[in-house]
Amino acid sequence: MSRWLPVLFALLAGLARAVGIVVVTWFLCRVMPGDVVDVLGLEGGLSEAQQADLRVSLGYDRPIVVQFFDWAQHALAGDFGRSVRFDRPVADMLASAAPVTIELALGSFVVGVALALGLAIAATSMKSRLLEAAVDGLNIWSIAVPTFCAGVLGIIVFSLWLGWLPVIGSLILPIIIIGLDNAGQIVKLVREDLAEAVMLPHVRTARAKGLSPWRIAVVHVLPVAAPIVLVLSGLVLSGLVAGTLTMEILFGLPGIGSLMLNAVHGRDLPVVLAAVTVVAVALVAINTLVDALHRLIDPRVNR
Protein backbone atom coordinates (compact mmCIF):
# COMPACT_ATOMS: atom_id res chain seq x y z
CA MET A 1 0.00 0.00 0.00
CA SER A 2 2.76 2.41 0.95
CA ARG A 3 4.15 1.93 -2.57
CA TRP A 4 0.97 3.29 -4.11
CA LEU A 5 0.24 5.96 -1.53
CA PRO A 6 2.28 8.57 -3.45
CA VAL A 7 0.28 7.71 -6.60
CA LEU A 8 -2.94 8.28 -4.69
CA PHE A 9 -1.63 11.60 -3.41
CA ALA A 10 -0.54 12.53 -6.92
CA LEU A 11 -4.01 11.63 -8.21
CA LEU A 12 -5.70 13.74 -5.55
CA ALA A 13 -3.31 16.62 -6.20
CA GLY A 14 -4.01 16.30 -9.92
CA LEU A 15 -7.74 16.32 -9.35
CA ALA A 16 -7.36 19.40 -7.15
CA ARG A 17 -5.41 21.03 -9.98
CA ALA A 18 -8.15 20.07 -12.44
CA VAL A 19 -10.79 21.62 -10.22
CA GLY A 20 -8.60 24.71 -9.92
CA ILE A 21 -8.29 24.94 -13.70
CA VAL A 22 -12.05 24.67 -14.14
CA VAL A 23 -12.76 27.29 -11.46
CA VAL A 24 -10.22 29.72 -12.91
CA THR A 25 -11.59 29.12 -16.42
CA TRP A 26 -15.11 29.80 -15.20
CA PHE A 27 -14.15 33.14 -13.70
CA LEU A 28 -11.93 34.08 -16.65
CA CYS A 29 -14.84 33.41 -18.99
CA ARG A 30 -17.00 35.70 -16.91
CA VAL A 31 -14.51 38.57 -16.89
CA MET A 32 -13.96 38.35 -20.65
CA PRO A 33 -15.75 41.24 -22.36
CA GLY A 34 -19.09 40.11 -23.75
CA ASP A 35 -21.25 37.07 -23.25
CA VAL A 36 -23.25 34.78 -25.46
CA VAL A 37 -26.16 37.22 -25.46
CA ASP A 38 -23.87 39.81 -27.01
CA VAL A 39 -23.01 37.24 -29.67
CA LEU A 40 -26.66 36.56 -30.40
CA GLY A 41 -27.41 40.28 -30.26
CA LEU A 42 -24.63 41.07 -32.69
CA GLU A 43 -25.67 38.39 -35.13
CA GLY A 44 -29.39 38.24 -34.69
CA GLY A 45 -30.53 41.78 -34.35
CA LEU A 46 -31.89 41.55 -30.81
CA SER A 47 -33.05 44.80 -29.27
CA GLU A 48 -31.57 45.83 -25.95
CA ALA A 49 -34.79 44.83 -24.16
CA GLN A 50 -34.70 41.40 -25.81
CA GLN A 51 -31.07 40.99 -24.80
CA ALA A 52 -31.93 41.83 -21.19
CA ASP A 53 -34.77 39.28 -21.23
CA LEU A 54 -32.47 36.63 -22.66
CA ARG A 55 -29.88 37.24 -19.92
CA VAL A 56 -32.54 36.73 -17.30
CA SER A 57 -33.80 33.54 -18.94
CA LEU A 58 -30.23 32.19 -19.03
CA GLY A 59 -29.78 33.03 -15.34
CA TYR A 60 -26.98 35.51 -16.02
CA ASP A 61 -28.61 38.00 -13.69
CA ARG A 62 -27.87 35.78 -10.67
CA PRO A 63 -24.70 36.23 -8.56
CA ILE A 64 -21.71 34.70 -10.32
CA VAL A 65 -20.96 32.34 -7.41
CA VAL A 66 -24.51 30.99 -7.49
CA GLN A 67 -24.16 30.42 -11.24
CA PHE A 68 -20.90 28.55 -10.70
CA PHE A 69 -22.25 26.22 -8.04
CA ASP A 70 -25.34 25.56 -10.11
CA TRP A 71 -23.14 24.57 -13.05
CA ALA A 72 -20.77 22.53 -10.85
CA GLN A 73 -23.66 20.61 -9.29
CA HIS A 74 -24.90 19.53 -12.71
CA ALA A 75 -21.38 18.85 -14.01
CA LEU A 76 -20.61 16.55 -11.09
CA ALA A 77 -23.72 14.60 -12.03
CA GLY A 78 -22.32 14.32 -15.56
CA ASP A 79 -24.69 16.91 -17.03
CA PHE A 80 -22.76 19.57 -18.91
CA GLY A 81 -25.95 21.21 -20.11
CA ARG A 82 -26.67 22.53 -23.58
CA SER A 83 -24.72 24.82 -25.82
CA VAL A 84 -26.36 28.24 -25.51
CA ARG A 85 -25.25 29.15 -28.99
CA PHE A 86 -26.27 26.01 -30.86
CA ASP A 87 -28.95 24.63 -28.54
CA ARG A 88 -27.40 21.18 -28.57
CA PRO A 89 -26.34 18.91 -25.71
CA VAL A 90 -22.73 19.70 -24.85
CA ALA A 91 -22.07 16.01 -24.24
CA ASP A 92 -23.02 15.28 -27.87
CA MET A 93 -20.71 17.99 -29.14
CA LEU A 94 -17.83 16.63 -27.03
CA ALA A 95 -18.54 13.07 -28.14
CA SER A 96 -18.40 14.19 -31.75
CA ALA A 97 -15.13 16.11 -31.29
CA ALA A 98 -13.22 13.76 -28.99
CA PRO A 99 -12.40 10.99 -31.50
CA VAL A 100 -10.67 13.46 -33.82
CA THR A 101 -8.49 14.83 -31.04
CA ILE A 102 -7.72 11.38 -29.65
CA GLU A 103 -6.77 10.11 -33.10
CA LEU A 104 -4.57 13.12 -33.71
CA ALA A 105 -2.97 13.02 -30.27
CA LEU A 106 -2.32 9.29 -30.20
CA GLY A 107 -1.14 9.21 -33.80
CA SER A 108 1.35 12.00 -33.29
CA PHE A 109 2.42 10.55 -29.93
CA VAL A 110 3.19 7.18 -31.48
CA VAL A 111 5.01 8.79 -34.41
CA GLY A 112 6.98 11.05 -32.08
CA VAL A 113 8.04 8.41 -29.56
CA ALA A 114 8.79 5.83 -32.23
CA LEU A 115 10.89 8.28 -34.21
CA ALA A 116 12.76 9.55 -31.17
CA LEU A 117 13.43 6.09 -29.81
CA GLY A 118 14.41 4.66 -33.18
CA LEU A 119 16.76 7.52 -33.94
CA ALA A 120 18.29 7.55 -30.47
CA ILE A 121 18.86 3.79 -30.50
CA ALA A 122 20.32 3.93 -34.01
CA ALA A 123 22.63 6.79 -33.09
CA THR A 124 23.74 4.97 -29.93
CA SER A 125 24.29 1.63 -31.62
CA MET A 126 25.85 2.73 -34.88
CA LYS A 127 27.91 5.72 -33.72
CA SER A 128 27.19 7.42 -37.04
CA ARG A 129 27.93 11.14 -37.44
CA LEU A 130 24.98 11.40 -39.78
CA LEU A 131 22.64 9.96 -37.17
CA GLU A 132 24.10 12.23 -34.49
CA ALA A 133 23.44 15.16 -36.83
CA ALA A 134 19.90 13.89 -37.36
CA VAL A 135 19.34 13.83 -33.59
CA ASP A 136 20.62 17.39 -33.27
CA GLY A 137 18.71 18.51 -36.36
CA LEU A 138 15.42 17.08 -35.08
CA ASN A 139 15.99 18.70 -31.70
CA ILE A 140 16.74 22.09 -33.24
CA TRP A 141 13.72 21.71 -35.57
CA SER A 142 11.37 21.28 -32.62
CA ILE A 143 12.86 24.28 -30.84
CA ALA A 144 13.09 26.60 -33.84
CA VAL A 145 10.09 25.76 -36.05
CA PRO A 146 6.64 26.37 -34.58
CA THR A 147 4.17 23.66 -35.58
CA PHE A 148 1.95 26.32 -37.12
CA CYS A 149 4.71 27.35 -39.55
CA ALA A 150 5.50 23.72 -40.32
CA GLY A 151 1.80 23.18 -40.98
CA VAL A 152 1.56 26.05 -43.46
CA LEU A 153 4.76 24.87 -45.14
CA GLY A 154 3.39 21.34 -45.29
CA ILE A 155 0.15 22.56 -46.88
CA ILE A 156 2.05 24.52 -49.51
CA VAL A 157 4.33 21.61 -50.37
CA PHE A 158 2.06 18.57 -50.05
CA SER A 159 -1.31 20.11 -50.92
CA LEU A 160 -0.57 22.96 -53.32
CA TRP A 161 2.60 21.86 -55.09
CA LEU A 162 2.36 18.08 -55.01
CA GLY A 163 -1.41 17.75 -54.57
CA TRP A 164 -0.99 14.63 -52.44
CA LEU A 165 -3.06 15.68 -49.44
CA PRO A 166 -6.15 17.84 -48.95
CA VAL A 167 -5.79 21.15 -47.11
CA ILE A 168 -8.89 20.60 -45.00
CA GLY A 169 -9.61 17.54 -42.91
CA SER A 170 -6.42 15.55 -43.44
CA LEU A 171 -4.96 13.85 -40.36
CA ILE A 172 -1.77 12.61 -42.02
CA LEU A 173 0.10 15.90 -42.24
CA PRO A 174 -0.77 17.16 -38.73
CA ILE A 175 0.16 13.79 -37.22
CA ILE A 176 3.54 13.91 -38.95
CA ILE A 177 4.15 17.55 -37.99
CA ILE A 178 3.27 17.11 -34.32
CA GLY A 179 5.07 13.76 -34.32
CA LEU A 180 8.26 15.43 -35.57
CA ASP A 181 7.88 18.12 -32.96
CA ASN A 182 7.36 15.56 -30.20
CA ALA A 183 10.33 13.53 -31.37
CA GLY A 184 12.53 16.62 -31.43
CA GLN A 185 11.58 17.47 -27.86
CA ILE A 186 12.71 14.14 -26.42
CA VAL A 187 15.23 12.65 -28.84
CA LYS A 188 18.24 14.48 -27.41
CA LEU A 189 17.43 13.50 -23.82
CA VAL A 190 16.77 9.89 -24.76
CA ARG A 191 19.98 9.79 -26.76
CA GLU A 192 21.98 11.11 -23.78
CA ASP A 193 20.31 8.65 -21.41
CA LEU A 194 21.11 5.80 -23.77
CA ALA A 195 24.72 7.00 -24.06
CA GLU A 196 25.04 6.77 -20.28
CA ALA A 197 23.40 3.37 -20.23
CA VAL A 198 25.88 2.08 -22.78
CA MET A 199 28.67 2.64 -20.23
CA LEU A 200 27.04 0.42 -17.61
CA PRO A 201 28.92 -2.82 -16.69
CA HIS A 202 26.22 -5.23 -17.88
CA VAL A 203 26.18 -3.57 -21.28
CA ARG A 204 29.98 -3.78 -21.47
CA THR A 205 29.67 -7.49 -20.62
CA ALA A 206 27.11 -7.96 -23.36
CA ARG A 207 29.42 -6.27 -25.81
CA ALA A 208 32.31 -8.47 -24.65
CA LYS A 209 30.12 -11.51 -25.32
CA GLY A 210 29.91 -10.37 -28.93
CA LEU A 211 26.18 -9.56 -29.10
CA SER A 212 25.00 -7.46 -32.04
CA PRO A 213 24.72 -3.70 -31.45
CA TRP A 214 20.94 -3.78 -32.05
CA ARG A 215 20.41 -6.61 -29.62
CA ILE A 216 22.49 -4.82 -27.02
CA ALA A 217 20.53 -1.63 -27.57
CA VAL A 218 17.07 -3.20 -27.43
CA VAL A 219 17.62 -5.90 -24.78
CA HIS A 220 20.19 -4.34 -22.46
CA VAL A 221 20.18 -0.58 -22.96
CA LEU A 222 16.56 0.27 -23.58
CA PRO A 223 15.20 -1.18 -20.33
CA VAL A 224 17.65 1.03 -18.47
CA ALA A 225 16.39 4.07 -20.36
CA ALA A 226 12.70 3.07 -20.08
CA PRO A 227 11.91 5.26 -17.03
CA ILE A 228 13.22 8.41 -18.69
CA VAL A 229 11.41 7.52 -21.91
CA LEU A 230 8.21 7.05 -19.91
CA VAL A 231 8.55 10.37 -18.09
CA LEU A 232 9.34 12.18 -21.33
CA SER A 233 6.40 10.50 -23.02
CA GLY A 234 4.16 11.79 -20.26
CA LEU A 235 5.42 15.30 -20.88
CA VAL A 236 4.85 14.89 -24.59
CA LEU A 237 1.29 13.68 -24.04
CA SER A 238 0.58 16.64 -21.79
CA GLY A 239 2.04 19.01 -24.36
CA LEU A 240 -0.21 17.59 -27.05
CA VAL A 241 -3.13 19.60 -25.68
CA ALA A 242 -1.65 22.79 -27.13
CA GLY A 243 -0.12 21.10 -30.17
CA THR A 244 -3.34 19.52 -31.37
CA LEU A 245 -5.27 22.77 -30.93
CA THR A 246 -3.08 24.60 -33.44
CA MET A 247 -3.23 21.78 -35.96
CA GLU A 248 -6.98 21.35 -35.58
CA ILE A 249 -7.50 24.99 -36.45
CA LEU A 250 -5.03 25.02 -39.32
CA PHE A 251 -6.28 21.83 -40.94
CA GLY A 252 -9.95 22.36 -40.18
CA LEU A 253 -10.18 19.29 -37.96
CA PRO A 254 -13.32 19.21 -35.81
CA GLY A 255 -11.64 18.18 -32.56
CA ILE A 256 -11.91 19.40 -28.99
CA GLY A 257 -9.41 22.20 -29.61
CA SER A 258 -11.52 23.67 -32.42
CA LEU A 259 -14.65 23.19 -30.35
CA MET A 260 -13.08 25.00 -27.40
CA LEU A 261 -11.73 27.89 -29.46
CA ASN A 262 -15.02 28.44 -31.25
CA ALA A 263 -16.84 28.28 -27.94
CA VAL A 264 -14.50 30.92 -26.49
CA HIS A 265 -15.09 33.17 -29.50
CA GLY A 266 -18.82 32.64 -29.21
CA ARG A 267 -18.78 33.00 -25.39
CA ASP A 268 -20.54 29.62 -25.22
CA LEU A 269 -19.75 29.05 -21.57
CA PRO A 270 -21.18 25.53 -21.10
CA VAL A 271 -19.08 24.25 -24.01
CA VAL A 272 -15.89 26.00 -22.86
CA LEU A 273 -16.22 24.65 -19.34
CA ALA A 274 -17.06 21.13 -20.44
CA ALA A 275 -14.13 21.04 -22.87
CA VAL A 276 -11.73 22.46 -20.27
CA THR A 277 -12.97 19.95 -17.70
CA VAL A 278 -12.48 17.03 -20.06
CA VAL A 279 -8.99 18.18 -21.01
CA ALA A 280 -8.00 18.86 -17.41
CA VAL A 281 -9.23 15.45 -16.25
CA ALA A 282 -7.44 13.80 -19.19
CA LEU A 283 -4.20 15.52 -18.19
CA VAL A 284 -4.58 14.39 -14.59
CA ALA A 285 -5.28 10.85 -15.77
CA ILE A 286 -2.21 10.86 -18.03
CA ASN A 287 0.07 12.21 -15.33
CA THR A 288 -1.25 9.75 -12.77
CA LEU A 289 -0.88 6.86 -15.16
CA VAL A 290 2.69 7.86 -16.03
CA ASP A 291 3.49 8.24 -12.35
CA ALA A 292 2.09 4.81 -11.56
CA LEU A 293 3.91 3.17 -14.44
CA HIS A 294 7.10 4.89 -13.47
CA ARG A 295 6.84 3.41 -9.98
CA LEU A 296 6.06 0.03 -11.44
CA ILE A 297 9.09 -0.16 -13.72
CA ASP A 298 11.55 1.77 -11.59
CA PRO A 299 11.58 0.61 -7.96
CA ARG A 300 14.13 3.32 -7.09
CA VAL A 301 11.30 5.89 -7.15
CA ASN A 302 9.58 4.15 -4.23
CA ARG A 303 12.63 4.30 -1.99
Which lies closer to another protein via its Cβ, residue 41 or residue 81?
Answer: 41
Q: Per-residue DSSP letters for 157-200?
A: IIIIIS--S-SSS-SHHHHHHHHHHHHHHHHHHHHHHHHHHHTS
CB of 145 to another protein, least distance (A): 18
Q: Which residues bind another protein (CB under 8 A)?
A: 32-35, 38-50, 53-54, 83, 85-88, 93, 96, 152, 155-156, 159-160, 163, 166-168, 249-252, 254, 258-259, 261-262, 265-267
Please say whether the beta carbons of 175 and 107 come within 8 A: yes
Task: List Cβ neighbours of 190 (8 Å cut-off, separation of 6 or more).
Answer: 116, 117, 120, 225, 228, 229, 232
CB of 166 to another protein, least distance (A): 5
CB of 163 to another protein, least distance (A): 7
CB of 173 to another protein, least distance (A): 12
Which lies closer to another protein via its Cβ, residue 118 or residue 169?
Answer: 169
CB of 97 to another protein, least distance (A): 8
Which lies closer to another protein via its Cβ, residue 147 or residue 258?
Answer: 258
Which lies closer to another protein via its Cβ, residue 23 or residue 156?
Answer: 156
Question: Exposed e or buried b for every residue in 234-267, given b needs 16+ CB within 10 A?
Answer: bbbbebbbebbbbbbbbbebbbbbbbbbbbbebb
| CA distances for 112 relative to 4, 32, 250, angstroms | 30, 36, 20
Which lies closer to another protein via its Cβ, residue 42 or residue 130?
Answer: 42
